[in-house]
């Protein structure tokens, strides 16, 4: 595959649905690799890209910063719009100058401590729209970055929790004296991005664009526009036509030619016949005309320079507008992707809740049926118990009656026995009396 620039050292696969870097055949001569807006989950398979200078893996599904140690020539790295939570794996990137980690979930900046000292050249870091909430941790991890001049933690309303701390800006600028720009403003609080671009000449503007941390894909677009300025001119066709027409109308040579044509048309044949005779008398006039032509040619060059400057200024302003629109479009696209992800997660959560509710409902129905069965069983048991109780009551009553009858019979038997005993004692007494009498 070839990149957008048509050169083997550049490769752009924007929004191609790539799931893994191992699926792509990468030449070891690559200088620029743009894999923006794919489905890549891991950074792998880049160990042989020793000449790679610009890497854009923004808008993917990367969770860890890994597999970058072999990229010795890498100068700009864009990992924005991913799922990264910690800064790591940058200690071998000695030539890295620009790092974009915006729109992630970063809360751990410990990886920056491995970049402290003069061996690393990192100068521009974009960390907006993350989860950094500890200002002491932020300063501890960044104070040793001696080349750091541009740090972004908040831009266009996309911020970090640490930015809401009291005296945040003053604290950071005081702790990091090497900073020249914080959140798009210089140490005096003035916006510097647009003003610096307006003041800088075109080559300086392009160099600054190369170090713009917004997106490496924009850097590639800029390079292509420089290579194909004729094809991809940012000035509309009608505007160029109007400029050329005005330039022709204002051109001194054109005016001279028009005047000469008018004067020649007004000349009579007799004047043309006598022109040779009067040539000696016209010599001073020719000298004046020559000096006038030189003046007009000088004016012409000045006009061309002014027109060229105006054209360059128009091109640069149009180019800046397009770059800003590209930034805004990328930000809108990222927000749309985040909204889509949130919507998908919300739908999944709703489906999960619906499934749970369905399970609960089926469990409730099952439990209700079981309870009904148990209630019916309890009713049957209760009915049987009531019948048994009634039977036992009847049996108890019968036995009570029998017991009473037995008690009555026993009382009667005891009375009979008492009577017999009394009769027996009387008979014994009488017999003893009879014996005594005898």
Write the DSSP assignment of 15-39 as a string of letters: TS----GGGS---TT-SEEE--SS-
Q: Are 94 and 122 in contact (CB under 8 A)?
A: no
How many percent of the chain have pLDDT more than 70?
74
What domains sit in the chain, N to C, each tagged with a CATH number?
10-235 (3.80.10.10)
Q: What average pLDDT does range 86-111 have in this prediction?
A: 92
What does the pLDDT read at residue 79?
A: 94
Q: Tell me the three state secondary structure of residue 108.
A: strand
- Higher-pLDDT residue of 326 and 40 is 40
Is 80 exceeded by the pLDDT of residue 248?
Answer: no
Cα 129 from Cα 161, distance rounded (Å): 9
pLDDT value of position 190: 84
Where does the pLDDT of residue 193 fall: very low under 50, low under 70, confident under 90, or very high at 90 and above? low
What pLDDT sits at residue 222?
A: 44
Average pLDDT value for the chain: 77
Confidence of residue 408 (pLDDT cuts 50, 70, 90): very high
143-152, 224-233, 295-304, 426-435, range with the lowest pLDDT: 224-233
Residue 216's pLDDT is what? Answer: 44
Contact 218, 212 (CB under 8 A): yes
Range 144-168 burial, b when 16+ CB lie within 10 A, else e: bbeebbbbbbbbeebbbebbeeeeb
Instruction: Report the alpha-carbon angle 257-262-264, nearest 5.
Output: 90
pLDDT band of residue 43 (cuts 50, 70, 90) is very high
pLDDT band at 293 (very low <50, low <70, confident <90, very high): low
Confidence at residue 292, expressed as pLDDT on a 0 to 100 scale:
56
8 A C-beta contact, residue 1 and residue 35:
no
Identify the band that residue 351 occupies on the pLDDT scale cut at 50, 70 and 90.
very high
pLDDT at 192: 81
At 155-177, the pLDDT tens digits run 888 899 999 988 999 999 999 99
Alpha carbon distance, N-terminus to C-terminus of the chain: 160
pLDDT of residue 273: 39
Q: How far apart are CA 48 and CA 33, in angstroms?
A: 13
Query: Mean pLDDT throughout 120-124?
Result: 92
Higher pLDDT, 145 or 2: 145
């Amino acid at each position: 595959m070839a990149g957008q620039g048509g050169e083997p050292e550049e490769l752009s696969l924007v929004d191609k649905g790539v799931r893994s870097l191992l699926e792509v055949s990468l030449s070891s001569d690559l200088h620029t690799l743009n894999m923006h807006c794919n489905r890549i989950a891991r950074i792998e398979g880049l160990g042989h890209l020793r000449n790679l200078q610009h890497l854009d893996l923004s808008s993917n599904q990367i969770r860890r910063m890994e597999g970058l140690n072999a990229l010795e020539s890498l100068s700009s790295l864009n990992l924005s719009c991913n799922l990264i939570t910690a800064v790591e794996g940058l200690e071998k990137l000695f030539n890295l100058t620009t790092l974009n980690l915006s729109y992630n979930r970063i809360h751990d900046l410990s990886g920056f401590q491995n970049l402290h000292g003069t061996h690393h050249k990192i100068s521009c870091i974009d960390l907006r729209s993350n989860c950094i909430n500890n200002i002491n941790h932020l300063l501890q991890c960044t104070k040793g970055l001696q080349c750091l001049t541009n740090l972004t933690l908040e831009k266009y309303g996309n911020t970090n929790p640490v930015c809401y701390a009291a005296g945040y800006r003053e604290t950071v600028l005081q702790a990091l004296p090497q900073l020249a720009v914080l959140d798009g403003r210089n140490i005096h609080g003035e916006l510097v991005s647009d003003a610096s671009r307006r003041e800088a000449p075109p080559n300086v503007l392009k160099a600054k664009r190369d170090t713009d941390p917004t997106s490496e894909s924009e850097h590639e677009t800029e390079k292509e526009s420089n290579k194909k300025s004729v094809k991809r001119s940012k000035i509309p066709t009608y505007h160029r036509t109007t400029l050329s027409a005005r330039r022709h109308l204002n051109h001194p040579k054109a005016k001279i030619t028009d005047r000469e044509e008018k004067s020649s048309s007004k000349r009579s044949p007799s004047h043309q016949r006598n022109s040779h005779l009067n040539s000696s008398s016209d010599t001073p006039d020719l000298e004046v005309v020559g000096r006038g032509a030189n003046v007009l040619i000088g004016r012409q060059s000045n006009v061309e320079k002014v027109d060229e400057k105006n054209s360059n200024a128009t091109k640069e302003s149009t180019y800046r507008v397009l770059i800003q629109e590209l930034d805004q479009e990328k930000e809108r696209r990222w927000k749309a992707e985040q909204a889509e992800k949130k919507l998908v997660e919300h739908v999944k959560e709703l489906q999960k809740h619906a499934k749970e509710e369905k399970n609960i409902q089926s469990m409730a129905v099952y439990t209700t049926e079981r309870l009904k069965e148990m209630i019916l069983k309890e009713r049957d048991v209760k009915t049987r118990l009531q019948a048994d109780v009634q039977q036992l009551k009847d049996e108890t009553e019968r036995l009570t009656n029998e017991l009473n009858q037995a008690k009555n019979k026993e009382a009667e038997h005891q009375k009979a026995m008492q009577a017999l005993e009394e009769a027996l004692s009387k008979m014994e007494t009488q017999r003893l009396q009879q014996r005594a009498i005898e």
